[in-house]
Amino acid sequence: MAPRGSLLLLALLLLSCALPRARGQHWSHGWYPGGKRDLRTPANLPAWAPRAVPARGRKTRYDPPAKSKAGRVKLPPPVDPEELLVVLERYRQHRLVLSALRAEFRAEVLQRKREERLAAQGSAEELEEHRRLMAWNEEENARQRARREERLRKEEEEQKRRKLEIAEKQARKMEAFVEEKEKEVLQLQEEAKNFITPENLEARIEECLDNPRNYNFAIDKDGRIVKRTVLS
Amino acid sequence: MPMKGRFPVRRTLQYLSQGDVVFKSSVKVMTVNYNTAGQLSEGARKFVFFNIPQIQYKNPWVQIMLFRNMTPSPFLRFYLDSGEQVLVDVEDKTNKEITEHVKKILGKNKEMLEREERERKKLSHPATFGPKKYHLRECMCEIEGQVPCPAFVPLPKEMRGKYKAAMKNEA
């Protein structure tokens, strides 16, 4: 039991020694390879990305500063004004020159590209081709115009013909009407001869009284008068 | 969600990319005058309804304007950058005829398009690999004929550093 227990203890010790690479170390010791600076985030940044080391460490953002830092005055790093001026001026000139050069090169590249494009476009054969196509388009338009005029002409003719027809029909109708009316007038004229006017009233009455007519008769199926009553 | 419009197929990418009228770079504006009624404008109406989306998709920088019921007969007018105006009479034509006509006079023909395609291809090399934005493949394991990705197919023992180290230690 005891040797078993010691064996177990030994095994545990060995295991603990054999796991120095476990992530459960203190952040300040830097035991894993590369030390504190080898922290690779789970996002697996690309190799060229700068790795930021957290500056806070033990305390959070909201903990108060330590008592020993009570009288601390944070000053910016000391700067020599002449050196600063000189350095700034030099940097300004350097950047000016560089940006001017870059702009120059960029403009040149663009210019070259544009010229190349224009040359490809405005070549002689292309213009020729364009003119030929425009001429063809004009012809097509002319053909369409001819077709349209033809169509319009036909439509006009059609319309004229229709109008003529209508006029003719109208005329015929008028004629028929006039004829009818004429016939009626003639008939009336005919009848007018037998009219009783105030002049021949007496004569007509005498005539009627002299010739009594018998309107009572019977007809058979063929329409012939069969019998006549005797006039009394 | 129901489909929008009378012929929603006009809104599909496949239909739009089937348009084969690509204007020459000198064409800037296209104007269509047509009537909403009448048998003679039928072709123009169909052209506006079916083919103009395709044309605009292929020529996003050409301005297309439609004018309805302003003239008795329908026509197309193109304004080129040299100031030239091209008039195309489309009365009594079907929409197919109109597209063919337009393609013939102001469209880029096949060899020009192919040439441009080849120029575009020259800019990028298809054999390189890297970020998806610039290359076709991201990792060497995606290229056919290369060792497949160990995430999907485990490497043979001999290629693994673990085995090699073990062999070296043994020896």
Residue with tokens 């000139």: A93
| Subunit contact A140:B89, Cβ cutoff 8 A | yes
- Find the residue in A nearest to B93 (Cα): A144
Within 13 Å of residue A111, how many CA atoms lie on the same side as its CB?
6
What is the three-state SS of A39-65? CCCCCCCCCCCCCCCCCCCCCCCCCCC
**Weakest-pLDDT range from A10-14, A127-131, B38-42:** A10-14
- Find the residue in B nearest to A145 (Cα): B89
Record the tokens describing residue A125, joined without a space. 């054969």
Residue B1, pLDDT score = 73
Per-residue pLDDT for A31 more than 90?
no
Q: Shortest CB distance from A137 goes to which of B25, B26, B86?
A: B86
Mean pLDDT of A154-160: 97
C-alpha B162: how far from chain center: 51
- Find the residue in A nearest to B27 (Cα): A130
Residue ranges per structural domain of chain B: 8-109, 125-170
B8-109: CATH number: 3.40.30.10
Residue with tokens 């009479």: B89
**Weakest-pLDDT range from A9-13, A114-118, B50-54:** A9-13
Residue A20, pLDDT score = 47
Record the tokens describing residue B141, joined without a space. 């394991």
Characterize A77-97 residue by residue with b for buried, 16 or more Cβ atoms within 10 angstroms of its Cβ, and e for exposed: eeeeeeeeeeeeeeeeeeeee
Supply the ipTM of this predicted assembly. Answer: 0.77
Distance from CA of A17 to the nearest CA of B (A): 22
Q: Shortest CB distance from B104 goes to which of A133, A141, A147?
A: A133
The answer to whether B77 and A137 have CB atoms below 8 angstroms apart is: no
Residue A43's pLDDT band (cuts 50, 70, 90): low
